């Protein structure tokens, strides 16, 4: 029994530690009743403090309320969702819950009744070293999907609705695929060139050795 409790305790500590890592955040877009939506952004308090101190250095906060307002303003400037190519949402009624893992919740206005495409950008934590944000979209009737916003995609993703899923758009898939393929091709080409040089050198060595033997 003691061993089980110890294992559970260690697991909870590990999960809590991961949740409070400065470079990791979560961006959740959630559909509620009557096509109403909310956005929740969670990150470590340290990550928020780092960004606020940097971007509001000329007007440092003096109270928790001032800090909360700066957090709301910072997120509004750096987080955007554009549906169907033209419908840009508005974030309102922001609420900040301070803690080791700080949570910010907004009411989302302007989401169209039918969503075919979605452009997501979250550059709120780009000043945090190797920052990455898990993007989760919870839409009724859709499968829960998880994507990652990071340096590799410039904290920006293009998605499209496909049946009951949001998937990466063809353009972004092709772009990622192209970069991956290019890297693989360069590696294979480099290895092939090196192997060829080794075989050519060995072949030349054998030819020279054969000539020397004939001369003897």
Task: List the beta bridge partners of residue 9.
Answer: none
Q: Is the pLDDT of residue 199 over 70?
A: no
Cα separation, 84 vs 82, in Å, equals: 7
More confident call, 196 vs 139: 139
Residue 76 burial class via C-beta count within 10 angstroms: exposed 0-12, middle 13-18, buried 19 and up: middle
Q: What is the pTM of this model?
A: 0.70
pLDDT at 105 over 70: yes
pLDDT in tens, 58-84: 999 999 999 999 999 999 999 999 999
Give the pLDDT band of residue 177 (cuts 50, 70, 90).
very low
Residue 201's alpha-carbon distances to 1, 195, 196, 209, in angstroms, are: 67, 10, 8, 12
| Length in residues, the chain | 216
**In 3D, which of 135, 83, 85 has the Cα closest to residue 114?**
83
Q: Are 81 and 117 in contact (CB under 8 A)?
A: no
> Does pLDDT of 132 surpass 80?
yes
CB within 8 Å of 33: residues ≥ 6 apart: none
């Amino acid at each position: 029994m003691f061993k089980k409790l110890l294992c559970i305790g260690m697991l909870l500590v590990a999960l809590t530690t991961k949740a409070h890592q400065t470079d990791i955040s979560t961006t959740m877009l959630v559909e509620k009743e009557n096509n109403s939506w909310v956005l929740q952004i969670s990150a470590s308090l340290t990550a928020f403090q780092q960004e606020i101190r940097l971007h509001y250095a000329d007007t440092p906060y003096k109270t928790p309320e001032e800090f909360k307002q700066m957090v709301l303003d910072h997120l509004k400037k750096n987080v955007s969702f554009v549906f169907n190519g033209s419908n840009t949402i508005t974030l309102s009624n922001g609420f900040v819950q301070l803690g080791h893992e700080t949570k910010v919740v907004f009411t989302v206005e302007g989401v169209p009744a039918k969503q075919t495409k979605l452009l997501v950008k979250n550059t709120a934590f780009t000043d945090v070293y190797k920052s990455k944000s898990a993007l989760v979209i919870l839409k009724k009737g859709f499968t829960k999907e998880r994507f990652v916003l990071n340096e590799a995609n410039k904290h920006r993703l293009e998605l499209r609705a496909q049946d009951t899923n949001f998937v990466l758009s063809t353009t972004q898939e092709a772009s990622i695929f192209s970069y991956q393929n290019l890297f693989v091709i360069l590696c294979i080409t480099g290895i092939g060139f090196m192997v060829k040089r080794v075989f050519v050198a060995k072949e030349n060595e054998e030819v020279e050795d054969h000539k020397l033997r004939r001369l003897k």
